[in-house]
Amino acid sequence: MQVSQELLDKFKVLMKKRGREYKSDDEERGEAQSLVNYVEFVYEFAKKEMRRETKLKDYPKGYPIDEDGTYGCLLCHGAITRINGWYDKYGFKCLDCQRAFDKKLIPVKVLKDRESWFADWQIHDEHGVHPSTARKLRRERLLHARDLKTKEGDVYYTIYLHSDNQEFLKKYPRKEKKKIEFIYSGGKQIQL
């Protein structure tokens, strides 16, 4: 939406009250236009959210994605569209993850709380366990996995519930996340 003269006049009054000075009319118009663009974006976003909320009242278990665009599955992060995606009160999911949820292969806490489970990459990055060791621990039943499978039966993602893996977590606790701290010395930034 282009900034109208009426809106620009109101913007001028408002900005003057706030003590904001502009070097030129062009600069002022540019800033007013940015604000309008931003408001338009927020408005469109809120409209979409409201439509989803309203539709969920008719479909409390969710419904296939009915909007254009690409979304990320909240569980496996796979790219989803209206062809292979589902939306419910927890967010966007791929149909495979939705099926795992419907079949109760994954409990609802997994969708509500990202801290209630960990993924393959976290075993390595956060618990310091090499993938081959992880496979061994799985065979030894120290690590309990829940494999998510496609309709064809192929494993496409694996999750590990904290509640299933108390023993593993005791033996391989999550490493403290490295904090990167800086100090400033003589105008230079030094990493500690």
**Residue nearer to Zn ion on the CB measure, 76 or 106:** 76
Q: Tell me if 97 contacts Zn ion by CB under 5 A.
A: yes
Find all residues with CB under 8 Å of 164, minimum gap 6, and list them.
Answer: 144, 146
**Residue nearer to Zn ion on the CB measure, 11 or 92:** 92
Rounded least distance, CB 58 to Zn ion, Å = 24
The amino acid sitting at 87 is: Y
**Residue nearer to Zn ion on the CB measure, 94 or 123:** 94
How many other C-beta atoms can be found within 10 angstroms of the C-beta atom of residue 76?
A: 18
Q: Tell me if 75 contacts Zn ion by CB under 5 A.
A: yes
59-62 contact pairs (CB < 8 A, 24+) = 60/89, 61/88, 62/86, 62/87, 62/88, 62/89, 62/98
Q: Which letter does DSSP use for residue 162 in this model?
A: G
Q: Tell me if 94 contacts Zn ion by CB under 5 A.
A: yes
Q: Tell me if 100 contacts Zn ion by CB under 5 A.
A: no
**Residue nearer to Zn ion on the CB measure, 76 or 134:** 76
Radius of gyration of the chain (CA): 25
Q: Tell me if 73 contacts Zn ion by CB under 5 A.
A: yes
Taking contact as CB under 5 A, which single stretch among the options 48-56, 89-97, 122-130, 163-171 is the one that binds Zn ion? 89-97
Taking contact as CB under 5 A, which single stretch among the options 1-9, 42-50, 96-104, 113-121 is the one that binds Zn ion? 96-104
Rounded least distance, CB 129 to Zn ion, Å = 24
Distance between CA atoms of residues 118 and 102, nearest Å: 20
Distance between CA atoms of residues 147 and 158, nearest Å: 4
Which residue ranges make up the site for Zn ion (CB under 5 A)?
73, 75-76, 78, 94, 97
